[in-house]
Amino acid sequence: MRITDLRVYPVKSLAGDSVDEAIVEPWGLEGDRRWGLVDEAGEKVTAREVNALLGLRAEQVDEDTIRIHDRDGDSILVDTPLGLGPVPVSHARQGFANPADEDVNWWIADRVGQPLRLVWQEDPRVRRVSGAHGGLDGDVLSLADAGPLLMVTERSLEQVREWVGEPWADEDPATSMVRFRPNVVIDGAEPFAEDAWPTVRLGGVEFRTAEVCDRCVMTQIDPVALTTGKEPIATLARHRKWDGKTWFGTRLVPQGSGVLRVGDEVVPG
pLDDT of residue 34: 97
The closest of 148, 266, 157 to 210, measured between CA atoms, is 148
The residues, ordered by sequence, that sit 6+ positions from 161 with a Cβ below 8 Å of its Cβ are: 168, 173, 176
Q: Tell me what pLDDT residue 82 has.
A: 80
If one counts every other C-beta atom within 10 angstroms of the C-beta of residue 73, the result is 6
Q: What's 221's DSSP letter? A: B
pTM: 0.95
One CATH from 3.40.50.20, 2.30.42.10, 3.50.30.10, 2.40.33.20 for 3-268: 2.40.33.20
Residue 77, number of CB atoms within 10 A of its CB: 10
The confidence score (pLDDT) of residue 83 equals 72
User: Domain locations in the chain?
Assistant: 3-268
pLDDT confidence of residue 103? 95
In angstroms, rounded to a whole number, what is the distance separating the alpha carbons of residues 151 and 269? 15
- Inter-residue long-range contacts of 86-91, CB under 8 Å, 24+ positions, other chains counted: 86/122, 87/38, 87/42, 87/117, 87/119, 88/42, 89/36, 89/38, 89/42, 89/44, 89/119, 90/38, 90/42, 90/43, 90/44, 91/36, 91/44, 91/127, 91/143
Is the separation of the CB atoms in 8 and 22 below 8 Å? yes
CB within 8 Å of 80: residues ≥ 6 apart: 64, 65, 98, 120
In tens digits, what is the pLDDT along the chain, a chain of 269 residues? Answer: 999 999 999 999 999 999 999 999 999 999 999 999 999 999 999 999 999 999 999 999 998 999 999 999 999 999 999 877 899 999 999 999 999 999 999 999 999 999 999 999 999 999 999 999 999 999 999 999 999 999 999 999 999 999 999 999 999 999 999 999 999 999 987 999 999 999 999 999 999 999 999 999 999 999 999 999 999 999 999 999 999 999 999 999 999 999 999 999 999 99
**CA pair distance 36, 11, nearest whole angstrom:** 5
Q: What is the pLDDT of residue 188?
A: 80
Which helix (DSSP H) or strand (DSSP E) does residue 24 occupy? strand 21-25
